[in-house]
Amino acid sequence: MSLDRPLTRNVRPDRTPTDLAAYEANGGYQGLRRALGKLVPAECLQIIKDSNLRGRGGAGFPTGMKWSFVPMENASPGHKYLVCNADEMEPGTFKDRLLLECDPHQLIEGMILAAYTIQADIAYIFIRAEYHLAAQLLREAIAACNAKGYLGENILGSDYSLTMHVHTSAGRYICGEETALINSLEGKRATPRAKPPFPQVSGLWGRPTIVNNVETLCNIPHIIERGADWFQALGLTADAGTKMYGVSGRVKNPGCWELPMGTPIREILMEYAGGMEDGYQLRGFLPGGGSTDFLTPEHLDLAMDYDTIGKAGSRMGTGTMIILDDKTCPVGFVTNLMEFFARESCGFCTPCRDGLPWSAQVLNDIEQGRGLPEDLHTLARQVTFIGAIGNTHCALAPGAMEPLASGLKYFREDFERHISGGHCPWCDGGVN
Amino acid sequence: MQSPLIPNLSDQEISAIDNEIAHAPCRAAVAIDALKIVQSHRGWVSDASLQAIARHLHMSAAELDGIATFYNLIFRRPVGEQVILLCNSITCWIKGASQIQQQISARLHIGLGETSADNQYTLLPVTCLGACDRAPVMLVGEQLHTHLDDAALELIFRSREEAEE
Ligand SMILES: Cc1cc2nc3c(=O)[nH]c(=O)nc-3n(C[C@H](O)[C@H](O)[C@H](O)COP(=O)(O)O)c2cc1C
Ligand code: SF4
């Protein structure tokens, strides 16, 4: 049986982009025609709610519920905004790039439908500075849509109008956090905002704003066109739809594939990623980007979905796995991630601004063979205090603690060997 | 009043910035776009450019500098003709980004954050470039280079040297 792969049906093996004509020829903009002709916004919202679509940006928040918080009455006239989060910078994550570069119109159609549902009149695509090709393709696609009447005044003859802009960023991982992103769109430093108020009520310029991930929005046209039941049935487990799964590290065939939600980890790793490179053994993996907890080979038969991975003590996050092999030092692995998060801290709150560099320094000392036995205690305390949600202003710092906490749990003897031996067992072998 | 010490932005720069202002609710909203526009023309944002942009956006230079220095891809110091953004995040690290960095450093005689003597290249680390399936990777200008190893680096720098000759 061939798999239904709505998100990647226009993705070509050589990654050449799908233009407007090709997108339309393959059924593109049918969801938009259906919605603008026949469905009122409340009906669109109900379909998305019924579909059980959850946000693909990392947290898995139900999309329909998020949209339902946007005030719909005309009590406060003014702009409403839809923002696509195309900042993709989570270490080990490379799924949105594929969707952006290969099928920009799918995202744009999803954004028009999302904007219509919440009755936004302005939409932004916030894209990281380094995605030059994607930004160019999106600008061209928006121009083509403006010319064709899919964007602009009175879309397809309806009374709905929408303006869409591409905003290219200027760096910094924290811009991906949705309230930091909103500050950045306002031209400010990207420090996260306090919540509440939530952006759905008071976001960009104090107006109702929805921020969604690229992959989340790419699902919308298909759900509107083919219905909630169809979407639910795509998933193998309780979670609906397909998912862009990825594997990187020492595997034979690193890559990104659209598979049914809930595909077993073993299948993704062995069949799609081709298993480990010759001469390398699997020791562990981060299931969904750099700020998720390690899982180990004993977890391979779990279904890759939000609830299952959550119950196993990690998070599905972005769904792109990073593989730790036996020739890579686990302490070095965690140190690299901690240095990343320390560098990317926005500096707004003390536990993160001062705590993450401290963790990175302790880890680095251990990796360099200068560690002391009490360092493990220090790291454990940092995990407790910096890792607790609520002790920091945003989720960057708790996320940074996840690979450390689980690394200490699963690879403790490796940390201890660094300390007792006074050197990194991997570095001395000349491998790392 | 215009201070004679603050240079003027070029007509091109002003029209690009004003294009952004046209769909923004206030002038300061385009601060990051304006910094990027001027940087694209001049390579970096000098103190004088910063003041000129601030004046155009009706903000203080100090406030604008607070924004400029937050973002790692706004350069407040001169950079070479080409900026190399070398990914050193987790998957590239596993696949040997440190060795790649050593190779580049040995070839261009620069460390991270430095510019080569001939002003051709500046080498900077960058957050995960989102091409982990093709690690290790780097951006040179706007060009993404993937599957880096000694041979790939040789090819990249040799063809660039030849293109210059
Ligand atoms: C530090 C940090 C970085 C983030 N980076 C991204 C990102 O690059 N892309 C993204 O879609 N979401 C990112 N998120 C999650 C967003 O805050 C937000 O939850 C998401 O864009 C919502 O979209 P969704 O509901 O469609 O998943 C990040 C969160 C944090 C705390
Ligand atoms: S946790 Fe870190 S990134 Fe988040 S607000 Fe605090 S300092 Fe900034």
Q: What is the CATH number of the domain that holds B51?
A: 1.10.10.1590
For residue A218, with 0-12 CB atoms within 10 Å meaning exposed, 13-18 middle and 19 or more buried, which class applies?
buried
Please report the pLDDT score of residue B2 as a whole number.
Answer: 52
B120 domain residue, yes or no:
yes
Q: What is the pTM of this model?
A: 0.97
For residue A141, with 0-12 CB atoms within 10 Å meaning exposed, 13-18 middle and 19 or more buried, which class applies?
buried
Say whether both B33 and B103 belong to one domain. Answer: no
Measure Cα distances from A169 to A363, A419, B32, B35, B58 in Å: 31, 42, 8, 11, 22
CATH number at residue B111: 3.40.30.10
Say whether both B127 and B153 belong to one domain. Answer: yes
Among A224, A245, A304, A252, CA closest to A33 = A224
Distance to chain A for B128, nearest Cα, Å: 5
**Residue nearest (by alpha carbon) to ligand 1 atom 10:** A57
The residue type of A381 is R
Q: B154 in helix, strand or coil?
A: helix
Measure Cα distances from B156 to A70, A131, B99, B123, B164 in Å: 50, 20, 16, 15, 13
Say whether both B43 and B87 belong to one domain. Answer: no
B35 DSSP β-pair partners? none
Q: What is the mean pLDDT of residues A371-389?
A: 97
For the segment B25-69, what is each residue's pLDDT rounded down to a tens digit? Answer: 999 999 999 999 999 999 999 999 999 999 999 999 999 999 999
Please report the pLDDT score of residue A428 as a whole number.
Answer: 60
B2 domain residue, yes or no:
no
Distance to chain A for B73, nearest Cα, Å: 5
Q: A411 in helix, strand or coil?
A: coil
Q: Between A74 and A405, where is the model more confident?
A: A405
Cβ–Cβ under 8 Å, residues A415 and A201? no
Q: A236 in helix, strand or coil?
A: coil
Position in ligand 1 atom list of the atom nearest CA A180: 17
Domain that holds residue B48: 11-70
For the segment A338-369, what is each residue's pLDDT rounded down to a tens digit? Answer: 999 999 999 999 999 999 999 999 999 999 99
Say whether both B100 and B140 belong to one domain. Answer: yes
Looking at this predicted complex, what is its ipTM?
0.95
Please report the pLDDT score of residue A251 as a whole number.
Answer: 98
- Does the structure show a pLDDT above 60 at A432? no
CB contacts < 8 A (A, B) = 122
Cβ–Cβ under 8 Å, residues A99 and A138? no
Say whether both B15 and B60 belong to one domain. Answer: yes
- The verdict on a CB contact (< 8 Å) between B88 and A344 is no
Cβ–Cβ under 8 Å, residues A342 and A355? no
Check residue A149 and give left, alpha or beta (phi > 0: left; psi -120 to 50: alpha).
Answer: left
Cβ–Cβ under 8 Å, residues A396 and A349? no
Eight-class DSSP state of A281: -
Cβ–Cβ under 8 Å, residues A236 and A223? no
Distance from C-alpha of B63 to C-alpha of B69, rounded to nearest angstrom: 10
Which chain B residues are Cβ-neighbours of A187 within 8 angstroms? Answer: 24, 28-33, 67
Encoding tokens for residue A260? 């049914």
B23 domain residue, yes or no:
yes
Give the distance (Å) from ligand 1 centre to CA of residue B43: 31
Cβ–Cβ under 8 Å, residues A241 and A231? yes
B136 domain residue, yes or no:
yes
- Does the structure show a pLDDT above 90 at B162? no
Encoding tokens for residue A166? 């591409």
Please report the pLDDT score of residue A1 as a whole number.
Answer: 44
Residue recorded with tokens 């049986």 = A1
Say whether both B90 and B157 belong to one domain. Answer: yes
Please report the pLDDT score of residue B161 as a whole number.
Answer: 80
Which chain A residues are Cβ-neighbours of B146 within 8 angstroms? Answer: none
B96 domain residue, yes or no:
yes
Indicate the pairing of strand A242-248 with strand A320-325.
parallel
Cβ–Cβ under 8 Å, residues A253 and A42? no
Among A280, A229, A284, CA closest to A251 = A280
Element (H, E) at A211: strand A209-213
Cβ neighbour number for residue B159 with a 10 Å cutoff: 10
Q: What is the dihedral of CA B11, B17, B18, B24, to 10 degrees?
A: 180
What's the total number of domains in chain B?
A: 2
- Does the structure show a pLDDT above 50 at A213? yes
Which chain B residues are Cβ-neighbours of A181 within 8 angstroms? Answer: none
B1 domain residue, yes or no:
no
Measure Cα distances from B70 to A181, A188, B64 in Å: 13, 9, 10
Cβ–Cβ under 8 Å, residues A361 and A375? no
Q: Which residues line ligand 2 (CB under 6 A)?
A: A 174, 192, 345-349, 352-353, 392-394, 396-397
B110 DSSP β-pair partners? none
Closest partner residue to B94 (CB to CB) among A255, A328, A344 is A328
Cβ–Cβ under 8 Å, residues A293 and A398? no
Indicate the pairing of strand A81-86 with strand A242-248.
unpaired
Q: Which residues line ligand 1 (CB under 6 A)?
A: A 55-59, 61, 85, 87-90, 174, 176-178, 211-213, 216, 394-396
Of the listed ranges A69-83, A394-408, B68-82, the one predicted with least confidence: A69-83
Say whether both B98 and B159 belong to one domain. Answer: yes
Say whether both B91 and B146 belong to one domain. Answer: yes
Element (H, E) at B138: strand B138-140
Say whether both B66 and B88 belong to one domain. Answer: no
The set of residues, in sequence order, having a beta carbon less than 8 Å from that of B154 and lying 6+ positions away, is: none
For the segment A22-56, what is each residue's pLDDT rounded down to a tens digit? Answer: 999 999 999 999 999 889 999 999 999 999 999 99
- The verdict on a CB contact (< 8 Å) between B94 and A132 is no
B40 domain residue, yes or no:
yes
B115 domain residue, yes or no:
yes
The set of residues, in sequence order, having a beta carbon less than 8 Å from that of A47 and lying 6+ positions away, is: A39, A223, A224, A227, A228
Say whether both B59 and B86 belong to one domain. Answer: no
- Report all structural domains of chain A as residue ranges with CATH numbers, in order of start: 6-234 (3.40.50.11540), 242-325 (3.10.20.600), 330-428 (1.20.1440.230)
For the segment B35-44, what is each residue's pLDDT rounded down to a tens digit? Answer: 999 999 999 9
Closest partner residue to A336 (CB to CB) among B93, B127, B129 is B93
Please report the pLDDT score of residue A252 as a whole number.
Answer: 98
Say whether both B102 and B152 belong to one domain. Answer: yes
Encoding tokens for residue B117? 């003597």
For residue A189, with 0-12 CB atoms within 10 Å meaning exposed, 13-18 middle and 19 or more buried, which class applies?
buried
Distance to chain A for B39, nearest Cα, Å: 11
Please report the pLDDT score of residue B5 as a whole number.
Answer: 60
Say whether both B58 and B90 belong to one domain. Answer: no
Cβ neighbour number for residue A279 with a 10 Å cutoff: 9
